[in-house]
Structure 1
Amino acid sequence: MGNASNQPVRTLLTNATLIDCVQPKAVANAAVLIENGRIREIRTDGSTPAAEGATRIDLRGAYLMPGLWDVHIHPDYYLPHEMPLADQVTLFGHRLMAALTESGITGLRCAGAHHYMDVAWKRAFDSGQYVGPRLFASGHFLTTTGGHFLTSGHALECDSPYGFVKAIREQIKNGVDHIKLNLSGGILGPAWDLHRHSFLLQDELKAAFEICHLREFKVMAHATNPEAVKNAIRLGAHSVEHGYILDDECIELFLKHDTWYVPTLAISHLTPDQANNDWEQRWVKQRNMAHALCCRADAASDVHRDGFAKALKAGVKMALGSDIRPLKDAALLELGLWVRDGATPWQALVAATRNGAAVCGVGDELGTIEVGKLADLIVVGGNPLEDIQNVRQLKLVLKDGVVVSDKRA
């Protein structure tokens, strides 16, 4: 990298209160030197690194932390007749960029997108055409005929072992990072799409997982009841999404197989009867979900919360994913729900930083503030370890050490 004279590009952040997401504490009077997009030096003894030619930014005591991650997202759902495809692709990119600049979400993992629009935007961001978050693409999610969430446009309906194998090979050919399999139903959907129902036959499951393992592609498994969760874990899923109903054996299997769990609390929790702060109430009003679906969510909420709390207490590896939109609000709402359901602010922050990067396979490069890592960082005005909602007080966003959003007065 470097500039024309081969001088390193340096930025020095001073007077930071550092939350590195390695140690559960905030350290005052820290300084961080960034060089050519990476963290070069961290000082926590009150001294400042020598940094000739660096751009200096005085954070005045504000909280410096890793950028946030949301590891279960979808583009907005539009039926093809409602909006032309080109407009949908453009809008998706706009919403991805807004998540980065408006909320400090520096990493996103897609859980289903039609026409490979997530692959297209990933390439656009990676090539530097646009400034956006780090994006991990799934392409379509795969389910059965009469499977889950067909109205989204993101689903491919597959049947028979070879039907799944062919669809997975198509996803791989089109440049996805992981394979999203919907093994069961959901909370929000038509009467035949129920989260207590599993959809794939054993030979379909085995074939789908076998081809993923042969091609070394991670499986992101939508699994919402104990049977589906256990099948996913035993067959080698990288992550289990939702887990609305978990029994004790599910928890044991998560631990035994070291499988990731992404609980997406927002799906069962964000209804008019459950929203309990201004942000949640505003979101629920704007979402305007059908009454019957609100009833389904309310009915599922307690069991979902209890399973989440049990997994957390047991030490299951967990990362934060929202499964709602708009993306700039989604992860922030999900963070609040984690804490409401019994996570400490520290556990929620780790899930949305270090663990988000890890579930996407880039934990050695991102997710914490450590020397040598890429400088995807945010600065917030209040201490999120005291109140998780302080992540909303966004001041600065840096990606690869470059300021991409500055909200300081």
Structure 2
Amino acid sequence: MSAMTNDRLVLTNANVIDCVGERPIVGGSVVIERGRIGEVLDGSRSPDLRHADVIDLDGMYLLPGLWDVHIHPDYLAGVSAVDQTIAFGHRLMEALTEAGVVAVRCAGAAHFMDVAWKRAFEAGQYVGPRVFAAGHFLTTTGGHFLTSGHALECDGPYGFVRAIREQIKNGVDHIKLNLTGGIMGPPWDRHWHSFLLDDELEAAFAICRARGFPVMAHATNPAAVKAAVRLGAHSIEHGYMMDAECVDQLRERDSWYVPTLAISHLTPEQASDPWEKRWVEQRNLSVDLCERADKAAAEHREWFQRALAAGVRMALGSDIRPLKEAALLELGLWVKDGATPRQALLAATRDAAGLCGVGAALGTIEPGKLADLIVVAADPLQDITNLRTLRLVFKEGRLVADHRAGARQVD
């Protein structure tokens, strides 16, 4: 296809997975005008092709672009802030063009590099995914994630309040608050450990409520999950250990749950498909960390399944790198753990946009919404790994990646 010359784009002859209806719209067409979806037509109706660029999708599958709502930059020890920021931008752009990830929510980044790239992409200086920024990962002295370089140690109620105000001043969208340890960390950092005192928790949540900033809560054990939900956390991240009361409270209070299955599931003992095995080989985690993940996996899986069955609001976040592989791996793990391909896909599109507060504008294929779309060659509702057959990526109706045979590089 030559460069688009009109404000109107029509995608024809597609199987449209709109993430609204249960089944694809066979032989459908989508009309895009000035970056927004104008019409979604089934095969019985023909679109107006006048004054439009037209792409015949030849029966391929058109769907909303993917989201990953728990990401971090790479951990680059000894690398300058400038070079880390540049590398993060490249990883974000790769995720958009090579995996169809149209939006990400950051869960902690040093030097406000997530804010920097959010602004660069919004200004049109570079083409990348939408970024919802957190700034630093806020933990305690002797807390979690310290070796990453992305954590900021805080102590005492005012220590947390001041750090949160600093994040807000620097342009974040939400606050990442660490309540507990994790699977990946030193021996004194375990996921059943809780880190914050009650007065620290109360103060941190109070200032977020006062300033209107949602809390993204790293909570990995039942006490921490319930404390975060009680205090008004917008989302619970990980939830490796929960109980029935946690699930009930998540559902009753309409809190989001982002399970990040990859953290406990991607080990040599558990990897089962070629992509997982390749990732595990390249990641080369220590034996100790693999053992910790293996021991946590069954319980993590159980609470993921129980939350899914209970109707808890859930969205897809990976917490792994590289970003161009992360969401695809997490989608596969959702299905492996019992989600249907449609449930997994909704978690990575409609529900992820809803978690980020932009569900009215993004996440489904409906008239009036922004046209952040992807095209894949095979049906992901039959096999979720078909999302790897990426052919086209659109951001606000602009073609930003074309992987069809013989296609020219998109400018």
Question: TM-score under structure 1 normalisation?
Answer: 0.97
**8 Å contact kept, 1:22–1:368:** yes
- Partner secondary structure for residue 172 of structure 2: coil
**8 Å contact kept, 1:240–1:260:** yes
- Partner secondary structure for residue 313 of structure 2: coil
The answer to whether residue 213 in structure 2 is matched with residue 213 in structure 1 is no
The one-letter code matched in structure 2 to 1:293 is L
Structure 1 moving runs of 4+ over 4 Å: none
The one-letter code matched in structure 2 to 1:9 is D
CA positional deviation for 1:46: 3.2
Q: Matched residue pairs, number?
A: 401
**8 Å contact kept, 1:8–1:35:** no
For residues 23 and 234 of structure 2, the distance between their equivalents in structure 1, rounded to whole angstroms, comes to 30
CA positional deviation for 1:322: 0.1
> What does residue range 346-385 of structure 1 map to in structure 2 within 5 Å?
346-385=342-381
Deviates more, 1:9-18 or 1:39-48: 39-48
Query: 1:193-222: CA deviations, max 9, x gaps?
Result: 000011001100000000000000000000
**8 Å contact kept, 2:112–2:170:** yes
Partner of 2:8: 10
Query: 1:275-314: CA deviations, max 9, x gaps?
Result: 0000000000000000000000000000000000000000
For residues 239 and 143 of structure 1, the distance between their equivalents in structure 2, rounded to whole angstroms, comes to 17
CA positional deviation for 1:8: 6.5
For residues 50 and 240 of structure 2, the distance between their equivalents in structure 1, rounded to whole angstroms, comes to 53
CA positional deviation for 1:26: 1.4
**8 Å contact kept, 2:72–2:319:** yes
Task: Show structure 1 runs of 5+ residues with no match.
Answer: 1-6
- Out of 334, 341, 344, the position equivalent to 1:345 is 341
- Out of 68, 71, 75, the position equivalent to 1:70 is 68
**8 Å contact kept, 2:25–2:43:** no
Partner of 2:28: 30
The one-letter code matched in structure 1 to 2:9 is T
Partner of 1:192: 188
Partner of 1:308: 304
**8 Å contact kept, 1:380–1:393:** yes
- Partner secondary structure for residue 157 of structure 1: strand
The answer to whether residue 156 in structure 2 is matched with residue 160 in structure 1 is yes
Partner of 1:102: 98
The one-letter code matched in structure 1 to 2:191 is H
The answer to whether residue 273 in structure 2 is matched with residue 277 in structure 1 is yes
**8 Å contact kept, 2:14–2:28:** yes
The one-letter code matched in structure 2 to 1:295 is E
The one-letter code matched in structure 2 to 1:22 is V
The answer to whether residue 300 in structure 2 is matched with residue 295 in structure 1 is no
- Out of 123, 140, 147, the position equivalent to 1:144 is 140
- Partner secondary structure for residue 391 of structure 1: helix
For residues 42 and 65 of structure 1, the distance between their equivalents in structure 2, rounded to whole angstroms, comes to 12
Query: 1:2-60: CA deviations, max 9, x gaps?
Result: xxxxx970100000001000112112110000000000011103322213211100000
The one-letter code matched in structure 1 to 2:392 is L
**8 Å contact kept, 1:33–1:51:** no
For residues 191 and 23 of structure 1, the distance between their equivalents in structure 2, rounded to whole angstroms, comes to 47
For residues 39 and 19 of structure 2, the distance between their equivalents in structure 1, rounded to whole angstroms, comes to 16
Partner of 1:255: 251
**8 Å contact kept, 1:17–1:61:** yes
The one-letter code matched in structure 1 to 2:76 is Y
- Partner secondary structure for residue 368 of structure 1: coil
Question: TM-score under structure 2 normalisation?
Answer: 0.97
**8 Å contact kept, 1:219–1:238:** yes
For residues 118 and 345 of structure 1, the distance between their equivalents in structure 2, rounded to whole angstroms, comes to 30
Query: 1:323-360: CA deviations, max 9, x gaps?
Result: 00000000000000000000000100000000111111
**8 Å contact kept, 1:17–1:64:** yes
Partner of 1:3: none
Q: What is the percentage of aligned positions where both structures have the same residue?
A: 67
- Out of 364, 381, 388, the position equivalent to 1:392 is 388
Task: Show structure 2 runs of 5+ residues with no match.
Answer: 406-411
- Out of 193, 214, 221, the position equivalent to 1:225 is 221
Partner of 2:124: 128
- Partner secondary structure for residue 370 of structure 1: coil
- Out of 37, 40, 43, the position equivalent to 2:41 is 43
For residues 340 and 238 of structure 1, the distance between their equivalents in structure 2, rounded to whole angstroms, comes to 27
- Partner secondary structure for residue 314 of structure 2: coil
